[in-house]
Amino acid sequence: MDVSTNDLKNGMSLDLPEGLFSVVDFQHVKPGKGGAFVRTKLKNVRTGAVLDRTYRADEKLPQAIIDKREMQFLYRDGPQYVFMDNSTYDQLHVDAPALGDAAKYLKEGDSAVLQMYGPEIVGVDLPAAVELAVTETEPGLQGDRVSGGRKPATLETGLLVQVPLFVNTGDRVKVDTRSGEYLTRV
């Protein structure tokens, strides 16, 4: 399906010869002389690389329809993550690399929105923050609560974060899924 450059919207996906891109920004320009054009900033969905492209006004570009499916993470099966589609109950086996950084925040029973382009996963939408248990960290020391010091902690998904000194093994912490930073003890 093609879309006119006059109808571009932020977040729209395009299937260009260079790969799958989403529109980050666009600007219609009508110079005094010559034809109008559209200046775009496009982000490669797979690599994250950003391209600046200029197109003629009303030029047709191939639109990619991204299917966003709400899924529940059931369990790990070796190197694969097994998800269940919340509407059809179909199970989907996904290789860890296809999930990217999102794999570090997923625990059994969690929900995520998988962005699908055909059979390929091109993105994962997670909640802004997730709660995870601390599986390993140095013991906290009495009296260290005010120093603002940090120490490394390994969470149940294998994610390593810096936490305050008062956090102990077995505690549950809230982590920001965009930055990977500790937010608070739960």
Average pLDDT score over residue span 63-68: 92
| Percent of the chain residues topping a pLDDT of 90 | 73
Both 75 and 55 in one domain: the answer is: no
> What three-state secondary structure class fits 96?
helix
Q: What is the mean pLDDT of the chain?
A: 90
pTM of the model: 0.77
Instruction: Say if residue 93 is in the same domain as residue 144.
Output: no
Among 40, 62, 84, give the residue marking a domain's end: 62
Q: What is the percent of the chain with per-residue pLDDT over 70, rounded to a whole number?
A: 95
The tally of domains found in the chain comes to: 3
* Residue where a domain terminates, one of 109, 125, 141: 125
Tokens 């549950």: give the residue.
172
Residue 146 pLDDT > 70, yes or no? no
> Where residue 93 sits, what CATH number does that domain have?
2.40.50.140
Does residue 20 contact residue 117 with C-beta atoms inside 8 Å?
yes
Domain that holds residue 115: 67-125
Predicted confidence at residue 143, as pLDDT, reads 57
Q: What is the pLDDT of residue 140?
A: 67
- Please check whether residues 77 and 117 belong to one and the same domain: yes
Average pLDDT over residues 23-38: 92
Residues 43 and 72 in one domain: no
